[in-house]
Amino acid sequence: MNLAVFCSGFGSNFQAILDSARKKKLRAKVALMICDNPKAYALKRAHQHQVPVFLFNPKLFKNRASYEKLIVRILKNQKVDLVVLAGFMRILTPYFIGAYRNRILNIHPSLLPRFKGAHAIRDAFNAGEKQTGVTVHVVTKEVDAGPIVLQQKVKISKRDTLKSLESKIHRVEHRLYPLAIQRYLRSLS
């Protein structure tokens, strides 16, 4: 199975996915990275591992639908079976979601449906929660609301700072995402 990983930033989940595929824990090939940020460290990771990249500047397109149509063509040309969002900081349009219906996964740093949105770790921490977690879910038209593939709880201790909680969440993400992708790919077969 061919994966396309969408990134906007550091790319630590991208790296975890690559590492799992190389160790054969994830039986898939990272065929392509899609990136919308020329300064993303994820691009260096892709280059180091010789993963082809499609880097685009959304500002050069008339609207989201126009760049998404191009991306869908690229994905189809590369025979991508599953789209994996890994820190991609853009909301996909219904067009894109329809083109890859039930074939887009996202990782979210909370126990959905709690703490949806871009600041889930901070929101859970500021709310004084005793636990939060990580969710891998199928992307649907409603943000952070698709069917859950896998979740794991993360305790928030009294000694945690926002930074230490972020580190705990990221460690869980790096282990959970490849596992969830493998589980989901088995369900598609």
Give me the CATH number covering residue 79: 3.40.50.170
Task: Quote the pTM value.
Answer: 0.96
Q: What is the total count of domains within the chain?
A: 1
pLDDT tens-digit map of 131-152: 999 999 999 999 999 999 999 9
Per-residue pLDDT at 189 exceeds 90: no
Angle of helix 162-188 relative to helix 12-22, nearest 10 degrees? 40
The answer to whether 130 touches 150, Cβ cutoff 8 Å, is: no
Q: State residue 179's pLDDT score.
A: 98
104-119: burial string, b at 16+ Cβ within 10 Å, e else: bbbbbbbbbebbbeee
pLDDT tens-digit map of 18-59: 999 999 999 999 999 999 999 999 999 999 999 999 999 999
Nearest to 187 by CA among 135, 138, 134: 138
Q: Which residues are catalytic?
A: 108
* Distance from C-alpha of 157 to C-alpha of 163, rounded to nearest angstrom: 13
Q: State residue 141's pLDDT score.
A: 95
- Give the structural domain span for 47: 2-188
- Helix runs in the chain, H state only: 12-22, 41-48, 64-77, 94-99, 120-126, 162-188
Per-residue pLDDT at 182 exceeds 80: yes
